[in-house]
Amino acid sequence: MRRVAGKVGGWFYEAVPLGRAAAFRTLCYLFVVADLLVFTNWVRSHASVPGALYQPLAIGRILPLPTPTPLLVNGIFVALIVLALLAATGRAPRLLGWPVFLLYLEWMIIAMSYGKVDHDRVGFLVALAVLPTVGRARHGDATRSESAGWALRCTQIAVIATYFLASWAKIRFGGLAWLGGATLTRAVLRRGTWAARLLLDVPGLLVAAQWGIVMFELLSPAVFFLKERWRVWAIGGFYLFHVVVFSTITISFLPHLVAMAAFLPLEKVRPVEWAKRLRGRREPVEAPA
């Protein structure tokens, strides 16, 4: 009994190379900057949306967070960009990591307080919440660490929960009739690309896709039982699923895709090292006389 509990417990902090956590951390903090500047730049326009359209979330009523004003929204915007850029270097991981998490959470709370809540953020929010606990981690460090393993595992769990629980939500809100309904037809009419509109005319195709999506979501936790090599391939398949979704109904799930990189052997991706080596080859260092 104890041994089983130990094994299950150990799964939560299975050691991974510190270099992997370092690379994932840089990726996440750079995405915060890109997200603010490009992908959720519309949040800034909430600063100029009058308070009458503000519908605070439960968390905003409990805490109680202020109704967004241009000063608040723009203050968070500037502070987050500066702190996230610094955090991406890997320095002062806790001192920079915690404020980035809290400010980004508030940014998201503002984003979701005007009548529409997005569902692609949880994995990424979990990543930002757990990354500061890893502490120091250098790029390329092959030392395996249980604390890094736990942070990546938590992110992986949140990513897979996003799929798995999405199938529960469909049953809860849509009922079993969801499988044979016209939800995807509606999605295509709402925001479909020309490629998707062609699919509208194929009888039964979108209903088959609905069955496929629910099966995929229900089975997604199986990735945890695959051997590492196969798991990476499976995650590649997940990314492909999102490419299809994006090219048909232009839903990107981008922060979720960034969080999903927690499954990949990121320590092998060393762009700075590669650039250095490339430069070194072009300008051979002169041997000392």
Partner 1 sequence: MAIERLTTRGRLVRVLIALVGMAALASGTLYGQDDWFPLAPFRMFSTTDDPNKPVDIARVDAIDVTGARFELTERNSGVRRAEVEGQMAALKADPALVAAIAAAYEQHSPDAPELVRIEIIVEHHELKDGSATGVVVDEVVTAWDR
For the bound state, the minimum distance from the C-beta of residue 164 to partner 1, rounded and expressed in Å, comes to 9
Do 164 and 156 meet the contact criterion of CB atoms below 8 Å apart?
A: no
For residue 177, state whether it binds partner 1 (rule: CB under 8 A): yes
Q: Which stretch binds partner 1 (CB under 8 A): 78-86, 91-99, 156-164, 263-271?
A: 156-164
Which of residues 24, 31, 101, 178 is near partner 1 by CB under 8 A? 178
- Copy the structure tokens of residue 111: 């984003």
From first CA to last CA, the distance across the chain in angstroms is 68
- Show contacts with partner 1 in window 133-152 (CB under 8 A): 142-148, 150
- Show contacts with partner 1 in window 37-56 (CB under 8 A): 42, 44-46, 48-50, 52-53, 55-56
Residue 73 or 261 with smaller CB distance to partner 1: 73
CA angle (133, 134, 138) in 5-degree steps: 150
- Show contacts with partner 1 in window 66-95 (CB under 8 A): none
Each residue of 192-202: b (16+ CB within 10 Å) or e? Answer: beeebeebeee
Q: Which stretch binds partner 1 (CB under 8 A): 24-32, 179-187, 233-241, 278-286?
A: 179-187
Which of residues 15, 81, 102, 218 is near partner 1 by CB under 8 A? 15
Helix (H) or strand (E) holding 16: strand 16-17
Cα atoms found within 13 Å of the Cα of residue 133, Cβ hemisphere only = 17
- Show contacts with partner 1 in window 197-236 (CB under 8 A): 200-201, 203, 206-207
For residue 277, state whether it binds partner 1 (rule: CB under 8 A): no
Q: Which among 74, 78, 60, 169 has a CA at the least distance from the CA of 114?
A: 60
Which of residues 22, 28, 96, 126 is near partner 1 by CB under 8 A? 126
For the bound state, the minimum distance from the C-beta of residue 288 to partner 1, rounded and expressed in Å, comes to 34
Residue 243: what residue type? V
For the bound state, the minimum distance from the C-beta of residue 284 to partner 1, rounded and expressed in Å, comes to 32
CB atoms within 10 A of CB 246: 15
